[in-house]
Structure formats: C-alpha cells, structure tokens
Amino acid sequence: MNVALIGYGKMGKTIESLSGEMNFTVTHKFDELNPFEKCSDLKVDVAIDFTTPDLAVRHIIHAINLKIPIVVGTTGWYDRFNEVCEYVKNNDGSLFYATNFSLGVNLFFNLTEKFTKLMNPHQSYTASLEEIHHTEKLDAPSGTAITIGEKLIGSSTQYKSFELIENKETQFNTSILPIRAIREPNVPGTHTLKFESDVDFIEIKHEAKGRLGFAKGSVLAAKYIIGKTGIHTMSDLLK
C-alpha cells in the first residue's frame, strides 16, 4: 500500500513510523512548504489527512478530483459535512472520516450509549462531559467530545442538546449536556463522562497514552477504504 501523508506534523510522523510494522510505504509527504492542493498528478493507493479544519475540506475535494481515496483524521470541519458528502457521492469518491481513530475511544462511544440507558431511570443524576487536549488543538469541543455528546443524547430520555461551558459552576437547563474543554501542553487526549448526584458520582474515562492508537487506526482505515467508494466510518471498519 502506497500512502500520501497530508500533514507531516506529530501525527504524520507517528503514522510513518508504523510503515514497517503495518506493511505500507509513505511515498509522498505534504505540508505547508509542499501543499497537497498544488499536486496535479499523484500515483498512490490512499491519502491520510491530519491537518487543520480550514484545510481539510479543500484536501478532501482535491483528493476526490485526483481519484484518490482519502482518510481524514482532522476534525472541526463538520459544518460543511453535508456539502462534502454530496461532492464525494456525485464524483464516485472515497472518504473515510472519524472523530477519533482509536479502538478504545470507539469502544467508549458504545459504552456511552449503554451507560446512558442504564442511568435514564435515575433522574437524581446529572451528566457532564470533560475533554482535555493539547494546546495545538484548534476546535472545541473536540470532535470526539461531540460524538460522545451525540451518543448520549441519542440514548437519553433527558438530554436534548449539548453546550460548551467555561467552568464547572456554569448552570444549564437540565436538558442540556455541559461539555468543558481544557487545553494543556503535551497531552494526547482525555475524555470523562460523569453522572453525579447529591451523594456520589459514576464516571467512565478514556485517556490516551500517546498518538500511537490514533495512528494505527488511521492506517487500518486506509487499508479498508482502498477499492471502495462512498462515505465510511469506524463503525464500518469495526464490523
């Protein structure tokens, strides 16, 4: 499998380090000095994008135009999601996107649904979500936190929406799930879902040890999408 890395920062370098272990070759690396959008002819099996929200949509469209399947780990561009999906479908493109490529996080998503359903009859508990990421993370709440929020809302009889809060003391209508986003130097990512009552709290937590889990997941997604068209997610891969 020949791979083009779009974005050669910490994630791009981590993905490249797996080439021997996961049997693929990085043949092209794109960054600010070598922009992907200026490439007019590219012979690779798949592209993997870890860049910034403002670039991700342009990269997806350019990859589709070049007839290259693309795996996108960048988040924060979902306000244009419907537009992008329409473009992919109309041009027989291949897009694999995920708010998080970690197997553990995707198990956390499933656990959120089960946890929420168990808590539904117990209205004395209120839910909250906290996420911690590195200071280079541009979007808040994170794509992962948004997915957790959506999973909770879809399984809850109480919560109808979520909203970003500045501090723990902020009070909301009981139908709104509060999400607190914290940015600290050199942390790979932590998400904690808590249900709290007057007497105790119950929480589930995922804390990444590093970038390796995300990198491995993106490579598995790249192998999965080759030869396929349409929109694909981690749910498809995990099946």
Catalytic residue check, 133: yes
Q: Which of 59, 133, 206, 232 is catalytic?
A: 133
DSSP-derived secondary structure letter, 101: -
Peptide bond into 35 cis (omega under 30): no
CB atoms within 10 A of CB 128: 19
CA separation for the pair 16, 121 (Å, rounded): 47
DSSP-derived secondary structure letter, 36: G
Element housing 179 (H / E): strand 176-184
Q: What are φ and ψ of residue 2, in 5° steps?
A: -95, 130
Q: CB of 81 within 8 A of CB of 99? A: no
CA separation for the pair 82, 91 (Å, rounded): 14
Q: Which of 137, 151, 206, 216 is catalytic?
A: 137
Place of tokens 């929406």: 161
CA separation for the pair 158, 172 (Å, rounded): 13
Q: Which residues pair with 132 in a beta bridge?
A: 182, 190
Catalytic residues: 133, 137
